[in-house]
Structure 1
Amino acid sequence: MGFEKEILRAGTGPKPTKGQKVTVHCTGYGWDEGVMTMQVGVKLLCTPDYAYGASGFPAWGIQPNSVLVSEIEVLSAQ
């Protein structure tokens, strides 16, 4: 439960730290805790209990109990 990540392309820069403003390129929806463990080229998978759960997020088309998969490219962290 929680999140998993799959490294698609090894990163070269430092990982963001808590409190930094992070700019990313994202397909899907990333999560603070997951992004803080990333470098460039990571796919993030969030289980329903860690994402929107039984409520989903109908405004974004996310059904109840959906697993969210996001491809996120960290562009910068300041």
Structure 2
Amino acid sequence: MEPIPGYETTKQTITAGSGPVVAKGDTVTVHATGIVEEGNKKFWSTKDPGQQPFTYQAGVGKVITGWDQGCLGMNVGETRKLRIPAHEGYGAGGFPAWGIPPGGTLLFEIEVLSIKGKGGEL
């Protein structure tokens, strides 16, 4: 795992992608699976039955800090692992509704499916 400059979240590329990269302000659609490191318990996956890919606006604080910063620079088709400490995730309060305990460290595997920049599909 390598550090993300200025953050404690770390990243590791699992599968390289190609083409456009995720930049601040882009609309990004991903497959994602989240696990609480303490206990190794999955709390969410877009690949589970009945779930769909997740779409968000990158780099502008619409998702937790570790995810927001950890996905910048990813290419379409890239799969990356992120390890997000609590203070860059859901913090001291956790997210009990999803089974994330107070101070929980999060592990995400994220695959970029598409990127739409301000001018449309990239």
- The bucket for the TM-score relative to the shorter chain is 0.7 to 0.9
Identify the residue that residue 63 of structure 1 maps to in structure 2: 101
CA RMSD of aligned residues (A): 1.7
More strand, by proportion: 2
Q: Which runs of 5+ in 2 are unaligned?
A: 1-6, 35-43, 45-63, 117-122
How many angstroms does 1:17 deviate by? 0.9
Q: Which has the larger radius of gyration?
A: 2
Identify the residue that residue 35 of structure 1 maps to in structure 2: 71
Structure 1 runs of 4+ aligned residues shifted over 2 Å read none
**TM-score between both structures, scaled by the size of structure 2:** 0.58
Q: Which runs of 5+ in 1 are unaligned?
A: none
Deviation larger for 60-69 or 32-41: 32-41
SS in 2 for 1:2: coil
CA–CA separation in structure 1 for the residues paired with 2:73 and 2:82: 10
CA–CA separation in structure 2 for the residues paired with 1:17 and 1:48: 24
How many angstroms does 1:52 deviate by? 1.1
Count of aligned residue pairs for this structure pair: 78
SS in 1 for 2:21: coil
Identify the residue that residue 5 of structure 1 maps to in structure 2: 11
If asked which structure has higher relative contact order (CA below 8 Å, sep 6+), I would say 1
SS in 2 for 1:59: helix
**TM-score between both structures, scaled by the size of structure 1:** 0.87
Deviation larger for 52-61 or 31-40: 31-40
Structure 1 vs Structure 2: percent identity of aligned residues?
47
